[in-house]
């Protein structure tokens, strides 16, 4: 099954303290471990929401809202797409991540019908 | 009275809630342990197999550690480094085992020395990722050793590398649990009796051993992709398991082009999993599939893996060639845009490298698409008398297709009926029967014209 991991770390690049090289190395090690285990299918980091846009649909009307977006705590800074056998497996992997802040959301992707 | 009964009820409810809460904690812990087992078991068994020299002992020790976790973690909580905990526990068990079975002989004495050496002054954590990788690779080569039958290799691989239970493997292959259990026991015994060593083979031997590993992974994938028996046409869980093993292997042996070739082939085939089953459960054949339902992410991954295989240089192996064929389909926006002459050329290369009647049949179908049904039929007809294809349902299915295109509906119908009688898959049988009925209707229409 596929699980989308949403990193709700707040506004990208706006962290109170920038990550140390050690923290970056630790993160890379974790990511490598995930790749080696065949877990990561795709991943990406998002640019600051100032460069983002929102389109709101209301009947026939489309209104475009320019970033930055206000709800900073809920902002997604990056994502992973994982291939795992259960949501519990994803949870166990995520618990091993070397993060010390932010909320990470696990969402199962509905894929094969009947699977 | 009312007050009392309600307070009794509330007390009962509370007790029940309490029990429920304890149960929830226990079942949460069990689910966590199950997930951790899935993540850790292969590495654990691999590390222990290197020490013990055989999979049977390694698995026993790993299972002991799992039992200990099931006993302790629900109350003590999951340790911070569950993998290291399991390994340390398994090694303790190994020491116990040696004490208890000292008389049992050399194997355990050796294991004891290894464990002591391993624990002497060194911390569990010092095991590098590279060593883990080598252990895992050693375990893959051992479980897929050519001394074992195909069935035995597949079962043992799913068990020790996939972390699947015997019941899960049995369910996946629609085989009684006892048969799978027996297969695994026999496989372990064979490995011990034939003194198969725990190693990562090098040089010439590596080529043959790697071919055996790739074959096992592809067999698992194919059983999921086109189930040979049963009610379901596909079993995606087996495909996912094979893909996972392939992706792991590609990281462990990144310089082997055929590993990337196999991964490419599986990624591209898996991209069609959704599209190749109709909502009724019936198979949808490649050219009839809605390409909008193909998984673009898997196609991109597949093409990238094929690219990696090609960049490693050398002549393309059979898996990379088949992946290149699959890529021709993946790149075509519509079925009509398929580059059939290139597919024929690629099949020529496959036929030269790994000749087989099935490859010849696929080539004949491609020729039929590239150069017309008459040319295809001529090639298929040459295969009809081959004994190895006598019971192969896709031969009459392909012949039926070509005959139908040539307007020879009566013969086509007979071929589809034959294909229906040969397949063991219920869904595929329905499809073949429907084709036969369509041919019958087309014949009547033809007669009326």
Nearest CA in chain B to A87: B35
Distance from B364 to chain A by nearest Cα, in Å? 32
Residues on chain B touching A44 (C-beta within 8 angstroms): none
Q: What does the pLDDT read at residue B398?
A: 96
Contacts of A35 in chain B (CB under 8 A): 251
Helix, strand, coil percent content, chain A, rounded in steps of 5: 25, 35, 40
B58-100 pLDDT, tens digit per residue, is: 999 999 999 999 999 999 999 989 999 999 999 998 888 777 7
Tens-digit pLDDT profile for residues A11-42: 666 655 667 888 889 999 999 999 999 999 99
Task: Answer yes or no: do B38 and A38 touch at CB < 8 A.
Answer: no
- For chain A, domains (ranges, CATH) are 2-109 (3.30.70.1060)
Cα distance between residue B61 and residue B139, in whole Å: 15
> Does residue B310 surpass a pLDDT of 90?
yes
- Average pLDDT score over residue span B115-141: 66
CB contacts, 8 Å: A85 with chain B: 38, 237, 240
Contact B166, B188 (CB under 8 A): no
- Distance (Å) from the alpha carbon of B432 to chain A's nearest alpha carbon: 23
- List the single residue in B38, B244, B274 with the smallest CB-CB distance to A112: B274
- Of A38-47, A86-95, A103-112, B267-276, the least confident: A103-112
Residue with tokens 């008459």: B374
How much is the pLDDT for B121? 42
How many angstroms away from the CA of A11 is the closest CA of chain B?
27
Which one is predicted more confidently, B259 or B225?
B259
Percentage of residues of chain B with pLDDT beyond 70: 86
Distance CA B152, CA B144 (A): 9
- Residues of B in CB contact (< 8 Å) with A are 31-32, 34-36, 38-39, 82, 129, 133, 236-237, 240, 243-248, 251-252, 273-274, 277, 279, 297, 301
How do A40-45 and A53-58 pair as beta strands? unpaired
All structural domains of chain B: 10-114 (no CATH), 131-196 (1.10.10.10), 204-338 (no CATH)
Pair A47, A40: CB distance under 8 Å? no
**For the segment B411-427, what is each residue's pLDDT rounded down to a tens digit?**
999 999 999 999 988 88
Q: What is the pLDDT of residue A100?
A: 84
- In the predicted model, what is the mean pLDDT of residues B149-161? 94
Of B39, B248, B274, Cβ closest to residue A92: B39
**Tokens for B318?**
């059979």
Q: Is the pLDDT of residue A111 over 70?
A: no
As a whole number of Å, the CA-based R_g of chain A is 16
> What is residue B243's predicted lDDT score, i.e. its pLDDT?
96
In this predicted model, which residue has the larger pLDDT, B1 or A65? A65
- Top pLDDT among B282 and B153 is at B153
pTM of the predicted model over 0.90: no
Cα–Cα distances in Å, from B124 out to A73, B368, B447?
Answer: 39, 61, 80
Q: Measuring CA to CA, which residue among B200, B196, B199, B220 is closest to residue B146?
A: B196
User: From the candidates A42, A88, A97, which should be mutated to test the interface with B, based on the most B CB atoms within 10 A?
Assistant: A88
SS3 A44: strand
pLDDT at residue B127 tops 60 = no
Closest CB to B32: pick one of A42, A92, A114.
Answer: A92
Residue B77, SS3? coil
pLDDT digits (tens, 9 = 90+) for B237-280: 899 999 999 999 999 999 999 999 999 999 999 999 999 988 88
> Contact B248/A37, CB-based, under 8 Å?
yes
Cα B397 to the chain's mean position, in Å? 26
pLDDT at residue B3 in the model: 43
d(CA B79, CA B36): 11
Confidence at residue B106, expressed as pLDDT on a 0 to 100 scale? 58
């Amino acid at each position: 099954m596929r699980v989308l991991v949403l990193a709700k770390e707040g506004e990208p690049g706006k962290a109170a303290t920038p990550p140390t090289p050690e923290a970056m190395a630790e993160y890379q090690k974790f990511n490598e471990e995930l790749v080696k285990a065949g877990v990561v299918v795709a991943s990406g980091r998002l640019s600051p929401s100032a460069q983002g846009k929102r389109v709101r649909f209301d009947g026939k009307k489309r209104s475009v809202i320019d970033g930055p977006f206000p709800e900073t705590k809920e902002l997604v800074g990056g994502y992973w797409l994982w291939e795992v056998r259960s949501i519990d497996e994803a949870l166990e992997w995520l618990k091993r991540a070397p993060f010390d802040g932010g909320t990470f959301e696990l969402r199962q992707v509905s894929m094969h019908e009947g699977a | 009275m009312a007050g009392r009964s309600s307070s009794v009820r509330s007390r009962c409810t509370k007790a029940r809630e309490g029990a429920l809460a304890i149960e929830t904690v226990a079942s949460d812990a069990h689910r966590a342990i199950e997930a951790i087992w899935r993540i850790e078991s292969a590495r654990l068994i691999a590390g222990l197999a290197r020490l013990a020299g055989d999979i049977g002992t390694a698995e026993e020790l790993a299972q002991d550690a799992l039992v200990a976790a099931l006993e302790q973690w629900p109350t003590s909580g999951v340790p911070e480094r569950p993998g290291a905990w399991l390994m340390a526990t398994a090694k303790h068990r190994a020491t116990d085992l040696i004490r208890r079975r000292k008389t049992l002989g050399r194997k355990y004495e050796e294991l004891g020395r290894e464990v002591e050496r391993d624990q002497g002054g060194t911390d569990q954590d010092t095991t590098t990722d590279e060593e883990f990788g080598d252990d895992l690779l050693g375990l893959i080569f051992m479980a897929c050793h050519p001394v074992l039958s195909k069935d035995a290799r597949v079962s043992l691989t799913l068990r020790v590398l996939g972390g699947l239970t015997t019941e899960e493997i049995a369910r996946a292959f629609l085989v009684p649990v006892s048969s799978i259990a027996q297969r695994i026991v026999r496989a372990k015994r064979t490995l011990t009796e034939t003194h198969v060593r725990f190693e990562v083979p090098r040089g010439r031997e590596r080529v043959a051993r790697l071919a055996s590993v790739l074959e096992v992974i592809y067999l698992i994938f194919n059983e999921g992709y086109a189930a040979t028996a049963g009610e379901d046409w596909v079993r995606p869980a087996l495909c996912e398991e094979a893909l996972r093993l392939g992706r792991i292997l590609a990281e462990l042996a990144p310089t082997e082009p055929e590993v990337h070739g196999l991964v490419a082939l599986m990624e591209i085939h898996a991209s069609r999993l959704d599209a190749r089953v109709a909502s009724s459960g019936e198979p949808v054949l490649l050219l009839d599939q809605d390409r909008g339902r193909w998984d673009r992410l898997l196609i991109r991954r597949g093409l990238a893996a094929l690219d990696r295989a090609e960049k490693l240089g050398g002549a393309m192996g059979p898996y990379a060639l088949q992946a290149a064929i699959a890529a021709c389909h993946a790149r075509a926006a519509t079925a009509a845009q398929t580059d059939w002459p290139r597919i024929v050329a690629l099949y020529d290369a496959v036929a030269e490298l790994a000749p087989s009647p099935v490859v010849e049949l696929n080539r004949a179908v491609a020729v039929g698409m590239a150069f017309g049904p008459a040319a295809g039929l001529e090639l298929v007809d040459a295969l009809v008398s081959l004994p190895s294809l006598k019971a192969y349902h896709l031969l009459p299915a392909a012949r039926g297709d070509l005959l139908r295109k040539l307007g020879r509906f009566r013969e086509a119908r007979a071929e589809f009926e034959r294909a229906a009688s040969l397949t063991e898959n219920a869904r595929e049988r329905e499809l073949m029967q429907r084709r036969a009925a369509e041919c019958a209707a087309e014949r009547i229409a033809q007669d009326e014209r």
